[in-house]
Chains A and B, each alone.
Chain A
Amino acid sequence: MADPTYKNGGITRDIGIYVLLLILAGVQFIIAYQNISSTQMFARMLAVAVIEGGVALLYFMDLRENRGLRWFVLIFAIGVLLGLQYGWTDSFRLLDGVRWAQ
């Protein structure tokens, strides 16, 4: 049986979200041609990608309709991403020619 939450919204909303995602993807291509540093470019690209991903999760994957699942996914994803960021400092060690942590 289909999940009744999917009954909400309609094709008009889906097309609107699709157009929004196309625009956001276009913004990323514009950022790529900006004369800015790699750090600034990374920050802007990441910001747009997170917004894009969020919109897709909420509307295409219908997380908007299920509050419990939304929090579960959000907390889990942030935990994993923060855990992965723990290693960033070691990449700077490599840049500075410092030996890896033992």
Chain B
Amino acid sequence: MSQADLTMHGHPPAGAMAEPTFSVPAKKMAMWLFIIADTATFAGCLVAYGFTRNATPDWPRPFHSIVNVASMTFILLTSSLTMLIAIREAEQGKKDKAFRWMMITALLGVLFAFLHIREWLELIDKGLTLFHNPYGTPMFGGFFFSVTGLHLTHVIGGVIALIAVGIRYRGGRYNAADIEITGLYWHFVDLVWMFVVPFMYLMNLGH
């Protein structure tokens, strides 16, 4: 069918235009593809960490308290719930409420980042850096800061996205579907944390 045929009838006949892949809107599909690619990035980092940890008999266990990491986990999981509430409100057209829940989610993200950076500073104060580790092999610091740093970057990016999308949604430039797509990203950040916590923190817990 030619372009002229499409133009003459005013709109394309059924079947002339391609259906969205998996019946998912293009923007949402793009986010899913990003998430899949990012999963490969994190999986690569964690598997590389697994190689090194497995090959290092005296792998250090520098963590002695779970309070901070438990708090961060609780905050991030709670932020996923608040994000879901924001999506529900947006679906019902309650713009102000959706915006408010998005900002609460962003606030929880900021709190998470604050706790994370505070923990980093404490470790750096004890001499743990990317290339130095007073507890044993220097590789530990390299992996710890790289993996958690990559995740923290995602959290900070997510907070910026939440604020930007939230403001534009309230202003009428974005709709509920955009909130949902931002939510997908935020849930992914939460999902990655579910793997970072056991392997980077809990398995390195000194008893």
Contacts and interface: CB of A to CB of B under 8 A. Distances in A.
Interface of A: 1-3, 6-7, 10-11, 14-15, 18, 21-22, 25, 28-29, 31-33, 38, 41-42, 45-46, 48-49, 52-53, 56-57, 60-61, 66, 68-69, 72-73, 76-77, 80-81, 84-85, 87-88, 90-92, 94-95
Contacts, number: 129
Interface stretch (B9-17, B83-91, B112-120): B83-91
Majority DSSP secondary structure for residues of B touching A = helix
Contacts of B66: 29, 32
Given A45-B199, A61-B187, A91 B77 contact: no
A61 B191 CA distance: 10
A85 B50 CA distance: 10
Given A22-B74, A92-B55, A60 B80 contact: yes
Contacts of A6: 87, 91, 180
A94 B137 CA distance: 15
A95 B73 CA distance: 33
Interface magnitude class on chain B: 35 or more
Contacts of A53: 191, 194-195
B107 interface: no
Given A28-B202, A84-B47, A18 B81 contact: yes
Given A7-B91, A31-B202, 8 more contacts: A3-B177, A22-B77, A25-B197, A33-B205, A45-B199, A52-B191, A60-B187, A91-B51
B36 A76 contact: yes
A69 B54 CA distance: 35
B111 interface: no
Majority DSSP secondary structure for residues of A touching B = helix
B43 A80 contact: yes
B145 interface: no
Contacts of B194: 21, 25, 49, 52-53, 56
Contacts of B135: none
20 contacts: A3-B24, A3-B28, A11-B88, A14-B84, A25-B73, A25-B194, A31-B198, A32-B66, A32-B198, A33-B205, A42-B199, A45-B198, A45-B202, A53-B191, A61-B191, A69-B24, A77-B39, A90-B51, A91-B54, A92-B54
A45 B203 contact: yes
A32 B203 contact: yes
